[in-house]
Structure 1
Amino acid sequence: MNPKPTSIDTSQPAEEGRKPRSDGEQSRERLLLAAMRLFASQGFSKTSTREISQAAGANVAAISYYFGDKAGLYQACFGSMCSPSPENIAMFDQPHFTLRQSLEGFYRQMMAPLMAGEDAQLLLRLFYREMLEPTGLWEQEIQNNIMPEHLAMVGVLSRHLGLEQPTDAAHRLAYAIVGMALQIMIGRDVVNAITPHMLESTDTIAHWVDHLVGYAEALVNAEKLKLQKGKA
């Protein structure tokens, strides 16, 4: 899972040289943003299409026109904020990458949502809701995105550990590497309460990537040393 930063604020003028978005595109984006906020705060079942359309300043029929139904709109909310799995994997799984380069690419794509400010919080709340009140999208996310990215990282780690085939040790290591970033993302409120300066800007968030790479590199080297001792 790699949510991508998104900005669907239609109040800002189009950049110079860019073609202004049509009324239809703006209406669709307003519906998406309103739906994200309501789904994140109330859940799928307790949010009505009428509420969404009123919050977006659009006609209820617009939801059917652009998304088919409420379920289609809900799925579009996730799709609009998540990068495709192949793009995420390409950032860290390249045969010529060193271990450090792979870890840098992995953490950059994983921590990218935190760079999105309020949108990051909105996305995380939406995922929390889906995990607590599953509609089936969470299972799809695991199968279509989380699992492929995990297996790709296990493959990267296996290569650097000198393993011919992935082992439980490589899987455990991958879970631990992911877990360090998840603690910051999911526990953002905790970090802000204890050390708010550590997440106050994009620069401080970028520092996390540098440190996480170092921590992860140490974990991989420790596991590699353990494997080498086991063969001795």
Structure 2
Amino acid sequence: MPGMNARDPITTTPRRAPRAPRADGAEARHRLLHTALRLFAQKGFAKTSTREIAREAGVNISAISYYFSDKNGLYGACFTEPMGGDGNDLVAICSTPGLSLEDALRLCFTSAIEPLKQGEIVRQCIQLHMREMLEPTSQWAEELERDIKGPHRAIVELLCRHLKLDRADDDIHRLTYAITGLSMQLYVNQDFIEAVRPSLLRTPRSIDAWADRLTGYAIALVQAEAARRKALANDEKTATAPAPARAARKKP
């Protein structure tokens, strides 16, 4: 299976759904999740034991099976719960009927950068994703489909609708990567931003400002691509026009 780590395979056998936390156990579940996130990010899935997680979280090891079914379920929860939401949220935004391109992009960027307000948790989540890329388990295939391929397809379709294209070509995919990279670079370069210009990420308000700016940058990218396509189409018409027509077009 693609993405499987032979040294530490994660089973794909059906598991019962994790239980919802009881009121008196919400804190224990919270400690388990965030302790597991920290340890998985630092050491990876294979080198992190459930006994170690439970010990550092200060709970009984049986709490892992109670709240998350097993180690696999806890590992999967670390990819979605701490930052809130997942790629399906972006897919839903892009698919909303009647939503303009600008409004859709603004909602996408707002949702994408909101987790930056959580500080250290975000760093651990990014570290976890990077470790999963370097030491893939079967979780990687799920992440690839839900949080990478799904949102990418949704933005591709959004751009095709806006540019009135029947299907996406390579340049639409290039444009999509350029747009999604605008928000991704805030996570990848978070430490550099805080070293060079910390005010850009210092407060919730400064983080919110990014959504508006990134939307403007993305719209400029789309407009540039639309202009490029229009110029290309005009050049092709000129090249295929009869000689007298081409000569007439060259006259002042």
TM-score, reference length from structure 2: 0.78
- RMSD (Å) for aligned C-alpha atoms: 1.8
Return the alpha-carbon distance in structure 2 between the equivalents of residues 140 and 128 of structure 1.
15
CA deviation string 1:16-62 (max 9, x = no partner): xxxx9523333222211211111112211111111111111111222
Return the alpha-carbon distance in structure 1 between the equivalents of residues 211 and 95 of structure 2.
17
Corresponding residue for residue 210 of structure 2: 208
Letter in 1 for 2:177: Y
CA deviation string 1:188-221 (max 9, x = no partner): 0111111111111111111111111111111100
The alignment of Structure 1 onto Structure 2 pairs a total of residues equal to 213
Letter in 2 for 1:206: D
Contact 2:110 2:211 in 1 (8 A): yes
Among the aligned pairs, what percent are the same residue? 43
Q: Which runs of 5+ in 1 are unaligned?
A: 1-19
Would you say 1:94 and 2:100 are equivalent positions? no
Superposition deviation, residue 84 in structure 1: 4.2
Larger Rg: 2
Contact 1:191 1:198 in 2 (8 A): yes
Contact 2:114 2:207 in 1 (8 A): no
Corresponding residue for residue 3 of structure 1: none
Corresponding residue for residue 58 of structure 1: 59
Letter in 2 for 1:169: D
Q: Which runs of 5+ in 2 are unaligned?
A: 1-20, 235-252
Corresponding residue for residue 159 of structure 1: 161
Task: Summarize the Cα distance change of 1:115–1:47 in structure 2 as closer, same or farther, 3 Å threshold.
Answer: same
Return the alpha-carbon distance in structure 2 between the equivalents of residues 204 and 73 of structure 1.
33
> Structure 1 residue runs of 4+, over 4 Å off?
none
Contact 2:93 2:108 in 1 (8 A): yes
Corresponding residue for residue 169 of structure 1: 171
SS at match of 1:58: coil
TM-score, reference length from structure 1: 0.85
Return the alpha-carbon distance in structure 1 between the equivalents of residues 158 and 31 of structure 2.
40
